[in-house]
Amino acid sequence: MKKLLPLLALSLPLSATTFEANVELPQLDVAEYHAPYLAMWVQSSDRKTIKNLALWYDHDKAKGKGQEWLKDLRQWWRRSGRGLDMPAAADAFTGATKTSGSYQLSFDSAKLGLTDLPAGEYKFYIEAVREVGGREVLSVPFTLPADKALTLTLQGKSELGQVSLTVKP
C-alpha cells in the first residue's frame, strides 16, 4: 500500500496551486520606444503540455494588424501561438501592451487550465519583443506539486528587468 500512495498523489490534479508573477519592463533610453509584445507560459519538460499565462499585444490596431506581429514572439509562437484561434480569448490571458514599469499578475488557475497540470518537471518562460528594439527570452525550471510557496526570480538584460514567478500550493 505504501508504494501506491506516491503514485496516487502524482495523478491528483493541482487544484490548489496558484501562480503569481511580477514583471519589470525597464525604461530604455532609445529614440523610438514601442511597448513590447510579451508572452508568459508554463511548459512541461517533454514540451507536450503548454499553458499560456499571459499575452500582451496591440489588439486594437486597425483590422487586426496587431496580431500580425505575434509571430515575432518566436519561441512562444512556435510552441503555442500559431495553434491558437485569434484573437485569443481576451478575458482568459490576453491584455494590451504595457510601457516601462513593474506589473503584478495573478493567474486564475481554473480559467487557464493550470489545475489540470499533472505532477512533474516544468519550465516557466517569458518572452518580450519590441518593434525597432530587441528580443529576450528567460526561463527557469520548477517542479509541481509545490510543497511550499516557491518564488523563482530571473534577471533580464535588455527587454526585461527582474521577473519573478511565485507558485503556491
In the predicted model, what is the mean pLDDT of residues 32-59? 90
Beta strands in 8-161 (DSSP E): 18-25, 37-44, 50-56, 94-95, 101-107, 120-129, 135-144, 150-155
Q: What is the pTM of this model?
A: 0.84
Residue 11 has pLDDT above 60, yes or no: no
Q: What pLDDT score does 147 carry?
A: 85
CATH architecture of 16-168: Sandwich (2.60)
Which tens digits make up the pLDDT trace of 61-114? 555 677 888 899 999 999 988 887 765 555 557 788 899 999 999 988 888 888
Q: Is the dihedral of CA 64, 87, 90, 145 positive or negative?
A: negative
User: DSSP assignment, residue 35?
Assistant: P
Amino acid 123: pLDDT = 95
pLDDT at residue 104, rounded to an integer = 96
Render the burial of 3-18: b for 16+ CB within 10 Å, e for the rest: eeeeeeeeeeebeebb
Backbone angles phi, psi at 63, to 5 degrees: 55, 35
Sign for the CA dihedral angle at 30, 23, 78, 66 comes to: negative
The domains of the chain are located at 16-168
Query: Under DSSP, is residue 40 helix (H, G, I), strand (E, B) or coil?
Result: strand
pLDDT at residue number 4: 31
160 forms bridges with which residues in the sheet? none
Structure confidence at residue 155 (pLDDT): 97
